[in-house]
Amino acid sequence: MAGLAESGSNPDVDLLYDINGLAKDAPHWFDRVMEYVGEYGLLLAMVLLVVWCWWSVRRRGAENAASSVAALVWAPLAAGIAVLVNVPIRGFVQRPRPFRDHQGLDVLVSGKTDFSFVSDHATLTMAMGVALFVANRRFGLVGIGLALLEGFCRVYMGVHYPTDVVGGFALGTAVALLLSPVAMALLTPVLKAVEGARWGAWVVRARSAGVRRGAVLAGTRGDELAAAEERDLAA
């Protein structure tokens, strides 16, 4: 397995050189930007996106606020579980980093001595993006877009093969989707308990009882008016 994609005639390697070749033609400052974005920036952006979605859910309030927040809590948990699942996969495949087997790559990040398949960054971002999509499609589409950009950056930086990234996308998606029902079954009761706590409004804010009571009263008043109109007509 360690010799996977060692041949220069492999389309995986050809695509690696094509994408990484863009780094050679780009200005030095742009490579530094891509280095930061690919290593840290997109992960931070994904976390901020999840927080933004949570704030939107909390501010809006809803009858199912606890389940909505539970779905958002699952996003970072899914990412963490996916990376843990990747540990034995990396140990089994034992694929060296591409710059160890192929010359002429422009490697933007040094010190990468672990195995290459699958990409942790691609796994993390796609797991969070897919889990976020399950919770909120609008935010989730943005998250999946960030994950795709992360995958491109990892190849651009010369630290992963394209198939490392595709494998990370598949792993992150599988964990986020397959374990989502179990996660929601476990997390939703916890968030409902938090919602009922005195301090729970800082985390989960359901639609206030006053708003619900007002809606019920408005509906009752409407029924009463309609009944009175029917009596007047009958008279």
**Residue 213 has what pLDDT?**
41
**Residue 17 has what pLDDT?**
93
**Residue 227 has what pLDDT?**
53
Q: What is the pLDDT along the chain (235 residues), one digit of tens a residue?
A: 444 444 446 889 999 999 999 998 899 999 999 999 999 999 999 999 999 998 888 777 666 778 888 899 999 999 999 999 999 999 999 999 999 888 889 889 888 888 999 999 999 999 999 999 999 999 999 999 999 999 999 999 999 999 999 999 999 999 999 999 999 999 989 888 887 777 766 777 765 543 344 434 444 454 554 455 555 545 5
**Residue 204 has what pLDDT?**
74
**Residue 212 has what pLDDT?**
41
**Residue 7 has what pLDDT?**
45
Answer whether 0.85 is exceeded by the pTM: no
Cα separation, 210 vs 215, whole angstroms? 9
* 90-109 core/surface letters (b: 16 or more CB in 10 A; e: else): beebebbbbbebbeebbbbe
Chain centroid to Cα 104, Å, comes to 33
**Residue 160 has what pLDDT?**
95
Cα separation, 35 vs 153, whole angstroms? 8
